[in-house]
Amino acid sequence: MACLGPLLTIGVFGCGLVKQPDDQVIVFAAASVQGAVQEVANNFQAEHGITVRLNFAASGVLAQQIMAGGRADVFISASEAWANEISAKGLANAESTTPLMSNSLVIVAHQSTDWQLDSIEQLSDLPFRNLLVGDPAFVPAGKYAQQFFQSSVNPSTERSIWESLEDRICPTSDLRRVLALVEADRSLAGVVYATDAASSESVKVIYQVPRSEVLAHYFLVRLKSSSQAANGERNADLFLDYLFRESSSKIFDRFGFGEPAE
């Protein structure tokens, strides 16, 4: 595959000044929720005086970090499979996996192109150089995209869309990178979440994947506290409760996320 550059993950972000260990909660969250969760975390810190340390990356990358001993109290996964994997490894509190919200997939291109799709079967006819997707091995959105393209058949070739585009599909580390690359290069197209597309003025949606075909859900996992904070468990419970507050729900709505089951 003719792909673009090295993979990139988003690093650790802190909310405000770092306090003593007993005044913090460590949250690992899917890269696609960064803007919304950052805002909720800022509000939580202002209200409770507890520092929220945030680590954003692909859900699979975060899950592997947790399984390798990464310190975290809460995991927000864009994949139920990765959330269940953490639980199966005995790293989560019993029955702690909870649906939080949902998202949908779209195909985007640079705003300056005249590309538009009436059906997914037309995708292989577009003159893009690469179609960027999250790496299916680590990025849930990439896995959803792969499954959707594999189940969609081009009637003129009787091949799946995935097979038809195999030499132009480029797996990428996370959807933030997909979006940034499409924003910078009008020869590219990309598959991202609807919330990612809505955050950019430089790209346009050229195809909305039907929600009946793909509806991505985010799951909360309450980890067995490993942040070594004296009040780690209490802080984690406070943060989990805060995510379900009406004020937090309004933030998620504003960013374009949907209810966890529709």
Domain residue spans in the chain?
Answer: 12-102+217-254, 105-208
> CA 31, CA 177: separation in Å to the nearest integer?
10
Please give the pLDDT value at position 8: 35
Contact 239, 219 (CB under 8 A): no
Closest to 162 in 3D by CA, of 195, 204, 191: 191
Hey, what long-range contacts does 164-167 have (CB within 8 A, 24 or more apart)?
164/124, 165/123, 165/124, 165/131, 166/1, 167/1, 167/2
Lowest mean pLDDT among 120-134, 193-207, 225-239: 225-239
Average pLDDT over residues 247-259: 94
Residue 227 has pLDDT above 80, yes or no: no
pLDDT, tens only, 190-200: 999 999 999 99
User: Taking all residues of the chain, what is their mean pLDDT, rounded to a whole number?
Assistant: 87
Closest to 32 in 3D by CA, of 173, 205, 234, 211: 173
Residue 9 has pLDDT above 60, yes or no: no
Residue 63 has pLDDT above 50, yes or no: yes
Please give the pLDDT value at position 221: 94
Please give the pLDDT value at position 238: 94
Q: Which residue has the higher pLDDT, 11 or 134?
A: 134
Domain 105-208 sits in CATH at 3.40.190.10
Model confidence, pTM: 0.79
Please give the pLDDT value at position 155: 79
Looking at CATH, the fold of the domain delimited by 12-102+217-254 is given as D-Maltodextrin-Binding Protein; domain 2 (3.40.190)
Q: Which residue has the higher pLDDT, 186 or 21?
A: 186
> CA 137, CA 116: separation in Å to the nearest integer?
29
Lowest mean pLDDT among 43-47, 61-65, 92-96, 206-210: 92-96
pLDDT, tens only, 136-186: 998 999 999 999 999 998 877 789 999 999 999 999 988 989 999 999 999
Average pLDDT over residues 1-24: 47
pLDDT band of 41, cuts 50, 70, 90: very high
Please give the pLDDT value at position 225: 61
Please give the pLDDT value at position 36: 95
Residue 10 has pLDDT above 70, yes or no: no
Do 105-208 and 12-102+217-254 have the same topology in CATH?
yes
